[in-house]
Every structure is written in structure tokens, then in C-alpha cells.
Structure 1
């Protein structure tokens, strides 16, 4: 083994240990904390805000959907509230909904899906807080455009003495945007394109990079315009295909639900390719993958909601919480149920197993195998119509995620270095898509877990401190809270 190889392996080991500690309370495979730091912080702040709101996000969910297409005639902003929701969703709905759910089941078993639901329910409270604060503390620049997000509600809502926290959030956002918003997405989409067309991975990465550049060069209005057209269409198409897969395997659905709840509270013995064997593994995998998927509490989506044409913080907060519900409770659940319900012959330990989640397959390969098995009619080679729709959905979801996260990273970069960094950032973004397409998937996912935590930590602190303002905004007090300009 060369010194260079040994150095890289040591680096990978450190990354793995840091990720395990943040999300699992483990170091070198040994449990050092019973309750992992990010699990405590994420669920703790989410529960605090949910209780303080008196379960407003759940009670007002119907009202949020009912107001989806109502216009705020007097609202200021750059894009419609629906376009802002679509833009936020385009960042939320990505590889986490297809490949991330599979990874959660591999690491934590079927119980991980239950803990994804719990994360999403508390996440709806966090999302409401983020969306409402984004409107309350956003700023209008000299050129008439708007900007907002955690860096704004930290500085304007908490005061200058908290500037360090806004800077920490921006640094975390740059880290997270490159790792989770770029490299993980690019890796998944390049594998999918290569699997469908046979083109080399580098060529797939180059193609995606060019397509993204064409859109992001036009800024948030261009991104919002594409997102509100692509995201709803692909989400509906994917959900219909998943629903049909479940209907075809309806008799196995009750057993799948029983498996989810049993695994969530009792754990499962590892068999086949399944790695997780404890309740803590299910919690860790469910919360980590849940955050990666819906981004509630991470601080990314309020940057999109901040530019919505509305002057009502609570209304945009309801849009924000609706995004979390759609992403995890609807789309991730459908993916998870397909993975648990569809039966076939899947590779595991030199033999085969009956269920794909218990196989040696990983990530999107697992999801693709499930959809291919559910729809045996061939379309292209060994890919069924279900597998084809899943592949196209992944490509389009990841494409729009790459668009939105370029904006999130740009917002952090311009906050730290000024508007002059915008174009260089967009060019760097395109280059990193190509780089990410060529990376090892396991390492990239580990880096993504660390990146999410570095971004979520300062945002969750701000949400907890500003929770009183959130409670007042929910009651209709649009100017609640103090401005520290």
C-alpha cells in the first residue's frame, strides 16, 4: 500500500467517524453517546416549536393546500409563492427521495422509514418557522431584488452580536451545497444516465453540467421558472408509478407496515445485505436521511421562500411546511413502501433474497431493481416501464436540485464576499458537477451527512432563540419581533 493510498484511507476513516459521531453517537464503532448530537438538536428544537405552535403545522395543513394558488395582490417579491414552493421543492426532492430512502433501509432497516416520518412531522414545524422568518426578515437590495434566509434572520432578528452565527451558517452552506447539493446529486444522476444510455460517466457528468449552466446563468427567476414546470409534473408521474406498483402488490402492503413499526421499536437481526440491527441504527438512518431529503431545519429552503411575492410571513410559512410534507410523508413514503413490498429474486451474499431492501444492492440501484421487478414488461433492454419512469424521475429531480442548490450556495457566497462572487460561483458550481460525477458514492454520502450538520447547527440555534417571534407570526402578527438593522 502506497503512502498516498494509506493517507486517503485514513482520511476516509476520519470522515466516517465524524459522520458516525454526529448522527449516531459512535466513534470507531463504539457508542460514546446514547443520544446522537444532531438527533437531539433536530428533534428537540422541532418538538419545542411544534408544541409552542400548538400543533399549528398539522392543523393548518389543509388550509395550506387550499391556498396553494391564491394570489397575494399586494405582495412584494420576485417570484410567485407557488414558484417559491416549487423552487424549494426542487431542492428538497432529489436523490434523497429515491436513493436516500434505499440507503436508510440498508443502514437502519424498515424502522428507518418510521423515524423519517417523525423527522418530517417535527420538520413541518421547523419549516414553518424558516418560511415565516424568511419573509419577516428579508431585505430588498438597491437593484430591487430580494434576499433572505437564516443569515438574514440571524443578523436582523438576533442582532450584530450574533453575526458570527450567520457567518458560520454561510460557511456550512458552502460546504453543504458542494457536498449534498452538488456532488451527491451529480453522482446519482451520472450513474442513472450511464445505466440508461451506456455513455461513460464523465460524459454524463459533462452533459448535466452544461444543462445546469444554461439555466443558472439566468439567476433565481430562471431557476424558479424551470422548477415550477418540471417538479410538479415529474412528482405526479413518479407517484402514479409508485402507486401502481403498490396496487400490483397490494396483498403484501399490510405486512410492510407491520415490518416498519416492529423494526422501529424492536430492531431487526441483520440478514442478507442489511447492515442495521438496532433501534438506534433505525433512528440514526431515519433522521439523517430524513433531513437530507426534506431539509427541514437545515436552513436551505428559506432562501427560496424569501423571494416569494407575499407580505404575509405565516402564509409563506405554511407553503414551506407543505414542502416538507410532500417530500417525506408523500414521496419518500411511496418509495419506501415499494422497496419493502415488491418481491423478487435479488442478489445477497452469493445467493438471493426475496425483498430488495434486504439485498446487496445499494442506493438508486436498489430502487431501480424494485421498480423493474414490479413492472416486468420490458421497454428498453432489461429496464421496465417502472424502471424507466424511476430513472427519468431521478434525472429530472436531481437536475432541478442542482439548479436550486446553486442558488443557495450563491446566497451564502455573496453574503460573505459580496455580489461580485456570483458569476465565479456559478462557474465553480458547474465544474464541481463534473467532479462529483466521478466520486465514490459511499464517501460522498458520508461527507453529505457532515455537511448537513454544519449547516443545520447554527440554523437550529437561531430557530430556537427566535421561536417566540415564530409563535407570534403564526397568530397573524406580521411585524412581530425586533429589527436589528
Structure 2
């Protein structure tokens, strides 16, 4: 309590939550204005994301659709015997970058730390979080049902981007002497650019990404999660007062701290159990509400489609709905941000493309399935006009309602006791996301400051402090900061993908040849 007592000592007339808001909100707003700069009134970063995803989808012959069944089979372990077996290395594959023989990734693959399913579970737990509950509620409330359509579009396209970045993550990872895996955009930017003769640029981009990734782990991977978990818990328990968020944040910080001390193996062992359980409960509840209102399913989809192309407010209204959907989907599935490749890099495989194919399932699970179900529940709930779409905030009976609470109210309208179950799901979503993002941030921190015990401990302590800050701060400031931090990763990462995607083509063909499936490319 030393830090909290110190803050209270500085301004004794204010509560801890109010003090935190006073200094956190201006920082969040300033950073958001920098990252989300607009070109022709459209955030440039969203153009970069969606345009890049479309390019990769076309270049890789709609791999997000054509190779979807193959991705399922890889997760099931159908090709494990091939991936972990001998892979003859030809002289064409041998090239050395910073002392690492890139062609010997099959040997490094034997030193991976987690299975395909564990890597997917860890990465999914980093994306399937409150973006699917609170974020979708915000998107539908502020952008209307049509925002859902654009979220789905970005989710499908993002599958191709996720494939590219996670293939590169495995291809250029580092393996420590103790078998610990270090991977992600920091490494493929540095090593990959060195391969193509742009070493200086690659090193600069890698450092920029690492710095932004640390910030993103404190924001979208941490503060936003604890904020909405605390909001839902406080609402359910009727907690009020200036320190309720701080108290809940401290409890969550203790729980997360116990897990993250153990590293990626403990994180993976926890997430592979939590993620299927919580996602299963949440999806079943959504299906119950949707099927219980089967007569409104057609209405809901009609609202999604018609509102997506509405011109009632002119071109500005049309692009406004589209941008809300794009932004929420980008925050939710993080395709293009490169963060998930850090978790996927730890997989045990001899073929980088195999994990890239597994990774493309992530945006589908996150955005196409779970986000869409949440949106349908909220649209059905609002079929009687509980609140108005398109305002700057969601108001119900004159009271501003935050994202997770709106979703909770939608569930409660159909299942009176479900807010208690949803609260458990929200807390588990939040904790699992924080656990995974602590790993992402730590990898970036160690890239910058070395792989020492001191670096490890210092990062984890700061991460836990931001859990408390997020729980205490107001929603708009936290989500503004979190959006900006996650999306800022896109700049260095997408530059890397645009230069390195031909390497992914080589890896894909090598893997398809190994498992005797027809190649995309001659």
C-alpha cells in the first residue's frame, strides 16, 4: 500500500481513484491523438491495417478460407509426426544472421516450449478478452448494428495478416541456452531485414516495436482488462466510493502475479484450461439468448447489414460506422499488431508455416464468432428501444452505461441470474488476457534491457501496478489509451510484413510439400 498511501498524501482531499484519473486521463488523450492521426478524416492506421490484410488475402490465394480445414487438422495434431521429424536441409536454406542459422529452424523447433494448441490458447487468451464483451458493446452502442458487419469483414481479412506475422515469428525466433524461446516482431524485424540487406532499418523498427509493445502490455493487455473487470464487479456487488476500483485492482493484481512468475509454460498450462472453459460458457449463453429469440434473429442480421451501408447521415455517417467497426475489430483480434506472434513463437515445430496456419484461426474465433454473438445479443436486447444507437455514450434511463455493464444487462434481460456467471467470465477473460500480455510485454522488455532476473522482476512489478491503475481510472481514458497503444504497434509491424511476406511464401510451400498437399505457388 506504500504507493497508494503516497498518492493519498500528495492530495489528501481526493480519493485514490480520483488522483489516478487526474494524471492518467491527459496522458491517454494525448497519446490517442498522436496514434490515430487522420488522413481525409480517416485514421491512417486503419487504412494500413485493412489494406494490408486485403493484400495478404489476395496474395496468398485466400488462405484464410482455403486452408481453414488444414488449420483445424494441425491443431488436432494430425501432422505432428512430420513436424517433429527429420527435415533435410539443403544448402539453399543455409543463411546466417547474427549468428543464427535460419535454415536450422527444424532443430530449434525441437526446443520449443509449447504445443500448437497451447500456443493458440495463449494467443487467443490475449485477444479473446473484454474487447469481445465491453468492446463490442461500445461498437454497437456508438456505431449502431452496422459496426458489427465491418468487424466481421476485418476479422476475416485479419486471418491472413495473422498467418503472415506468426509464420515470421517462428522463422526468426531465438532459442536460449536453457531452451527458453524468444520471439516476435522484434526478432523478425531485426533478423529478417538483415537477410534482405536492410539491417539498420530492421534494428530501428525492432526497438520501436519493443518500446510500443511494453506500453501496449500496460494498456490494452492490462489496464483495459482490469478496468472493465472492476467495473462489472463493482456494479454487481453494489460497491461505490473513491477507492472501490483500487481495492478490486489490488486483488486482481495478486492473482495475476501468482501466475506470471512461472513463465510461458505455466501461462500456457493455465490458459489452455481457462480459455476453452470460459469461451464455452460465454458462447453457450449467447446461443441460449439468440435461439430463445429465434424470431428476432432475422431482424438482428437485417439491422447489421442495412445499418452497415446506411447513408442516412451521408458519407460521414457511413464512414463513421465503418471506422467504429474497424477500430473495435483491430483492438479485439490484434491482427497486424504482431503481438500474438510472440506467443506463437514458442511452439514446438520444425515448420514456421504450420504455426502461421494455426494462428489464422485466432481472428475467426475472436471476431467472427465471439464478437458477432455478443453483438447479436445486444441488438436483440435493444429491439424494444432500450437505448439509442449512435450517441457519444450509451444512456439507459438517463444513466451512462459502460461496455461490460451493457452486455451484462443484455444477458440479464433473458437470464436473470446470468450476470453472476458473466461476472466470472469477465474476470476470467480479463485475467487470462493480462496473463498472456504480461508475457508479450516481458519479451519486449527483455529485448530492450537484457534477459536477466532483474529485468524480469522489474517488468512484472510495473505490470502489476498498471492493473491497479486501470481498475481505478475512468473507462474512456483507459480505452482511449489502450486503443492507441495496441494500434501503435501496427506501424513498425506492418512495415516489416510488407518487406518480409515473400519469406512466408517460401515457408508455406516448404510445409505444404512436407505434408504432401498441393502448393499455392510454383
Query: What do the CA deviations read for 1:19-69 (whole angstroms, capped 9, x no partner)?
Result: 4675573xxxxxx62442012100111111111101012111122113322
Tell me if 1:190 matches 2:224: no
From 61, 80, 84, give the equivalent of 1:72.
80
Q: Give the equivalent residue in structure 2 for 1:401.
A: 433
- Distance (Å, rounded) in 1 between the aligned partners of 2:397 and 2:372: 14
Structure 2 CA distance for partners of 1:385 and 1:62, relative to 1, 3 Å: farther
**150, 157, 160: which is aligned to 1:122?**
157
Go from structure 1 to structure 2 and tell me whether the alpha carbon gap of 1:409 and 1:461 turns closer, same or farther (over 3 Å shift): same
Could you tell me how far 1:335 is from its partner in structure 2? Answer: 0.2
From 35, 50, 69, the equivalent of 1:43 is 50
Contact 1:106–1:362 (Cα < 8 Å) also in 2? no
Quote the Cα distance in structure 1 between the aligned partners of 2:354 and 2:161.
15
1:356, distance to aligned residue in structure 2 (A) = 7.7
C-alpha deviation, 1:389, in angstroms: 2.6
**Which of 150, 161, 179 is the aligned partner of 1:144?**
179
Matches within 5 A, 1:150-169: 150-159=185-194, 160-161=199-200, 162-169=202-209
Pairing 1:224–2:268 present: yes
For 1:301, which of 340, 353, 359 is the aligned residue?
340
| Cα distance, 1:201 vs structure 2 | 2.5
Paired with 2:386 and 2:330, the residues of 1 have a C-alpha distance of 29
Match of residue 119 from structure 2? 84
Matching residue of 1:386: 418
Residue equivalent to 1:423: 457
What residue is the counterpart of 1:95 in the other structure?
130
Task: Give the number of aligned pairs.
Answer: 452
1:243 pairs with 2:282? no
- 1:450-472 CA distance string (max 9 Å, x none): 11222111101101111111222
Distance in 2 of aligned mates of 1:10 and 1:305: 36
CA distance in 1, matches of 2:370, 2:220: 19
1:108 aligns to 2:143 (yes or no): yes
Distance in 2 of aligned mates of 1:315 and 1:249: 40
- Deviation sequence 1:398-430 (CA, Å, 0-9, x none): 110010001111011000001121111111111
TM-score, normalization by structure 1? 0.87
Residue 269 (structure 1) shift = 5.9
**Structure with larger Rg:** 2
Moved more, 441-450 or 211-220: 441-450
User: How far 1:202 sits from its partner (Å)?
Assistant: 2.2
| C-alpha distance 358-136 of structure 1, shift in aligned 2 (>3 A) | farther
2:505, 2:221 → 1: CA distance? 31
> 1:191/1:216 Cα in 2 relative to 1: closer, same or farther (>3 Å)?
same
Question: Could you tell me how far 1:198 is from its partner in structure 2?
Answer: 4.2
Length-normalised TM-score, structure 2:
0.81
Q: SS of the counterpart of 1:297?
A: coil
Q: Give, in whole Å, the separation in 2 of the partners of 1:66 and 1:122.
A: 21
Structure 1 counterpart of 2:466, from 432, 437, 440: 432
Give the 4+ runs in structure 1 shifted more than 6 A: 8-11, 354-359
**RMSD value, Cα:** 2.9
Residue 475 of structure 1: which of 495, 498, 509 is its match? 509
3-state SS of 2:469 partner: helix
Q: Aligned pair in 2 of structure 1 residues 79, 18: CA closer, same or farther (>3 Å)?
A: closer
Equivalence for 2:258? 214
| Cα distance in 2 for residues equivalent to 1:184 and 1:255 | 32
Question: Using the alignment, how far apart are the partners of 2:28 and 2:260 within structure 1?
Answer: 31
The residue number in structure 1 matching 2:64 is 57
Equivalent pair of 2:118/2:272 in contact (CA under 8 Å): yes
Q: What do residues 275-312 of structure 1 show as CA deviations (whole Å, max 9, x unaligned)?
A: x9711111211111101111111111000000011112
Question: SS of the counterpart of 1:127?
Answer: helix
2-structure distance, mates of 1:60, 1:301: 20
1:151/1:21 CA distance change after superposition, 3 Å: closer
Determine which of 184, 191, 201 is the counterpart of 2:245.
Answer: 201
Distance change in 2, residues 1:347/1:189 (3 Å)? same
Aligned partners of 2:142, 2:293: CA distance in 1, in Å?
24
Q: Contact 1:109–1:277 (CA<8 Å) still a contact in 2?
A: no
Aligned to 1:178: 218
Mapped to 1, the partners of 2:232 and 2:25 lie a distance apart of 25
- Deviations along 1:137-185, whole A, 9 cap, x unmatched? 1111122211111011111111121200000101110111111111111
CA distance in 2 between partners of 1:456 and 1:357 (Å): 39
C-alpha contact (below 8 Å) 2:223/2:471 kept by paired residues: yes
User: 2:166, 2:344 within 8 Å by CA — same for their partners in 1?
Assistant: yes
Aligned partners of 2:311, 2:402: CA distance in 1, in Å?
20
Which sections of structure 2, spanning at least 5 residues, go unmatched? Answer: 1-13, 85-108, 514-522
Given that 1:410 and 1:422 are in contact with CA atoms closer than 8 Å, whether structure 2 keeps it comes out as: yes
Greater mean deviation of Cα atoms: 301-310 or 110-119: 110-119
Q: State the distance in 2 between where 1:144 and 1:11 align.
A: 39
